[in-house]
Amino acid sequence: MKFSEMPYKRPDFDALYNQMKALLEDMEKAPTAEDFFKAMEALDKVGRNLGTQQTLAYIRNTINTKDPFYSAEKDVMDEALPRFAEISTQAARITLESPHKAAVAKKYGEHLLEKYKVKLDTFRPEILDDLVEENKLKSEYQRLMASAEIEFEGETRNLSGMIPFMESKDRDMRRRASAASWGWIAQHQEALDTLYDKLVKLRHGIGQKMGYDSFIPVAYARMGRTDWTMEDARVYREQIVKHVVPLAQKLYQEQAKRIGIDDMKFYDYSLMFLSGNPTPKGEEPYMVAQAKEMYQALSPETEEFFGVMTSQELMDLTTKPGKANGGYMTFLADYKVPFIFSNFNGTSGDVDVLTHEAGHAFQGFLQRETELMDLAEYTSEVAEIHSMSMEYFTHPWMASFFKEDSEKYYYAHVAEAIQFLPYGASIDEFQEWVYLNVDATPQERRAKYREIEKKFLPHLDYDGLAFLENGGRWQKQLHVYLYPFYYLDYTLSQVCAFQYFNWDRKDHDKAWASYLKLCRDSGRIPFKKLVPAAGLLSPFEEGTIAKITPELEQYLDGLDKSKVR
């Protein structure tokens, strides 16, 4: 079935809730393990159906935030769904207290029980109204950012549509485009401050109602983190300060020399090469055609996967007015297929997001027959290994997308990924400070972010642009508003993806076999066990980053410098 043919019907929330409560009772009273599994699987099936309808409404709303029908349905979902969090936590509690717990562990593995223990820290009935309010505030942020209408170069553009101008070879164009884009955000600073202040205080209250001093333990539980803590995150961030920041600064200095600018400003760093950034040599139909050939060549599994994505029209890729920002992959459980959403705008990021989200989608496709949704769930730092590694496994085919720009793409893709690590760590350190200092004013938050930014990104000169100079850059980062503490995950996964990149260049067959195994094992093994089981070094181990970066430097130095300028 094509995506456009998938029917949406608003669920009967009361009937589903009562049906699920009855199945919970069946689980609690199950006389045998067989009866327990029967009720458990029936509950999972009802949950899949509810999740599918929610996902259909979400996708169609993000494709066109101005569509009144799906905008209204998104609001209905925001109001109705939080109470179903009780169902999943009750199912977790019942399983953990069940006389059939050992049978569950034998059938599905011990890690499912570990995930259930963490899930108990995400919901109590007394936070139900708070969850409804949190959903409303998050939707308000998405609508605000999607509403951007920036008059520039004779047309009205959204934030995504401004990016090509911010990467222009013309310095004045970059400056003006950056000023216009950030200027729109600065104009809405008060609304952004108000939204975030409400979210922080609301989440802090949730943390207290769950029995904690702050929201942070609840945030980690929401992320499903069973085997690493805030202390692990702090130690890891210091590795980035010690081993990555100096390398990133070296790359920025090389960039300044390459593009011939002595007084680099923040808007100059978006131009990697004086001859212009690498761009794909065609629009969406061309890129999808190249991707189809690429995935046919990569493996039988990827060939089957991408054939389904194209034949069932499970991608919406190009930016347009009213479309929500960003890119994502999600899964339509009833149809056992993934969906990819992005905002193609003519930059190299179009190819990155296609391979990145395809990595997420491919892993979902590999696990489409998984018995339980809870079993298929995995943490974000695991999820991003799937996507970021796919970006590197597809490197050999990038010439078909970029042609004469391919060498520039190879350089930019690796260099920018190295440079991303300090930014990702800065966002995590900032969020940790925010939720430990909930009474801070918006001005104090921005001042703290600017302080953190100078530690991780000391090269940035904001050329007197007050909004950024005062620490406002994070307010464009949707994860901070929508998915608290979902950002360090990207950097952890990047460290793993770099290892696959180094490995793949030496022994593709073994690296790809490891990747397939990791994708199939995801959700069944926690991060700290999954990574070494796949033959990778854990990013949390002191020295891991120091072992990886020399090979990356070697790779960059080995590229044809006559084509990288």
What are the pLDDT digits (tens) for 171-187?
Answer: 999 999 999 999 999 99
Q: What is the identity of the amino acid at 115?
A: K
The answer to the question of residue 494 being in a domain is no
Q: What is the identity of the amino acid at 352?
A: D
Compute the distance between CA of residue 484 and CA of residue 435 in angstroms, rounded to an integer.
10
Q: How much of the chain, in percent, has pLDDT values that exceed 90? A: 93
Calculate the alpha carbon distances from 516 to 398, 512, 519, 520, 529 in Å.
Answer: 21, 6, 5, 6, 16
**pLDDT surpassing 90 at residue 564:** no
- SS3 at position 273: coil
Buried b (16+ CB within 10 A) or exposed e, 134-155: bbebbbbbbeebbebebebeee
The answer to the question of residue 333 being in a domain is no
Listed residue (230, 223, 217, 214) closest to 115, CA to CA: 223
**What pLDDT is recorded for position 277?**
86
Compute the distance between CA of residue 119 and CA of residue 134 in angstroms, rounded to an integer.
18
Compute the distance between CA of residue 482 and CA of residue 485 in angstroms, rounded to an integer.
10
User: Would you put residue 477 in left (φ > 0), alpha (ψ -120 to 50) or beta?
Assistant: beta
pLDDT classification of 8: cutoffs 50, 70, 90: very high
Q: What average pLDDT score do residues 65-73 get?
A: 95
Angle, helix 189-209 to helix 128-146, in steps of 10 degrees: 160
- Residues 390-409: tens digit of each pLDDT: 999 999 999 999 999 999 99
The answer to the question of residue 96 being in a domain is yes
- Residues 213-233: tens digit of each pLDDT: 999 999 999 999 999 999 999
The answer to the question of residue 424 being in a domain is no
Look at the block and give the residue holding tokens 């809405």: 188
The answer to the question of residue 277 being in a domain is no
For residue 331, list its beta bridge partners: 338
pTM: 0.89
Residue 209 tokens, joined:
């109602």
**pLDDT surpassing 90 at residue 317:** yes
- SS3 at position 488: helix
**pLDDT surpassing 90 at residue 560:** no
- Residues 295-311: tens digit of each pLDDT: 999 999 999 999 999 99
Number of domains in the chain: 1
**What pLDDT is recorded for position 236?**
96
Q: What average pLDDT score do residues 343-363 get?
A: 92
Question: What residues contact residue 148 under an 8 Å CB cut-off, 6+ apart?
Answer: 158, 159, 184
Q: How many CB atoms lie within 10 A of CB 303?
A: 15
Angle, helix 85-97 to helix 101-108, in steps of 10 degrees: 110
**What pLDDT is recorded for position 294?**
97
Residue 59 tokens, joined:
């996708």
Specify the DSSP class assigned to residue 282: S
Q: What average pLDDT score do residues 26-38 get?
A: 98
Compute the distance between CA of residue 545 and CA of residue 537 in angstroms, rounded to an integer.
9
Contact assessment for residue 544 and residue 538, using Cβ atoms and an 8 Å cutoff:
yes
Cα atoms in the Cβ-side hemisphere of radius 13 Å centred on 487: 24
**What pLDDT is recorded for position 345?**
86
Mean pLDDT over all residues of the chain? 95
pLDDT classification of 349: cutoffs 50, 70, 90: confident
Q: Which domain holds residue 93?
A: 3-133
Contact assessment for residue 462 and residue 265, using Cβ atoms and an 8 Å cutoff:
yes
- Residues 421-463: tens digit of each pLDDT: 999 999 999 999 999 999 999 999 999 999 999 999 999 999 9
Contact assessment for residue 421 and residue 240, using Cβ atoms and an 8 Å cutoff:
yes
Residue 246 tokens, joined:
């100096």
pLDDT classification of 565: cutoffs 50, 70, 90: confident
Rg (CA), the chain: 23
- SS3 at position 425: helix
31: burial class by Cβ within 10 Å (0-12, 13-18, 19+)? exposed
Q: How many CB atoms lie within 10 A of CB 156?
A: 11
Compute the distance between CA of residue 447 and CA of residue 320 in angstroms, rounded to an integer.
35
**DSSP per position, 186-247:** HHTHHHHHHHHHHHHHHHHHHHHHTT-SSSHHHHHHHTT-SS--HHHHHHHHHHIIIIIHHH
**What pLDDT is recorded for position 364?**
97
The answer to the question of residue 247 being in a domain is no
Cα atoms in the Cβ-side hemisphere of radius 13 Å centred on 105: 12
**What pLDDT is recorded for position 425?**
98
**pLDDT surpassing 90 at residue 212:** yes
**What pLDDT is recorded for position 68?**
96
Cα atoms in the Cβ-side hemisphere of radius 13 Å centred on 450: 15
**What pLDDT is recorded for position 325?**
83
What are φ and ψ of residue 411, in 5° steps? Answer: -65, -50
The answer to the question of residue 398 being in a domain is no
The answer to the question of residue 48 being in a domain is yes
Compute the distance between CA of residue 321 and CA of residue 71 in angstroms, rounded to an integer.
15
- Residues 367-376: tens digit of each pLDDT: 999 999 999 9
Q: What is the identity of the amino acid at 522?
A: S
**What pLDDT is recorded for position 251?**
96
- Residues 490-548: tens digit of each pLDDT: 999 999 999 999 999 999 999 999 999 999 999 999 999 999 999 999 999 989 999 99
pLDDT classification of 282: cutoffs 50, 70, 90: very high
pLDDT classification of 326: cutoffs 50, 70, 90: confident
Residue 68 tokens, joined:
């009144």
Contact assessment for residue 197 and residue 487, using Cβ atoms and an 8 Å cutoff:
no
Pick the more confident residue, 124 or 106: 106
Q: Which element (helix H / strand E) includes 342?
A: strand 337-344
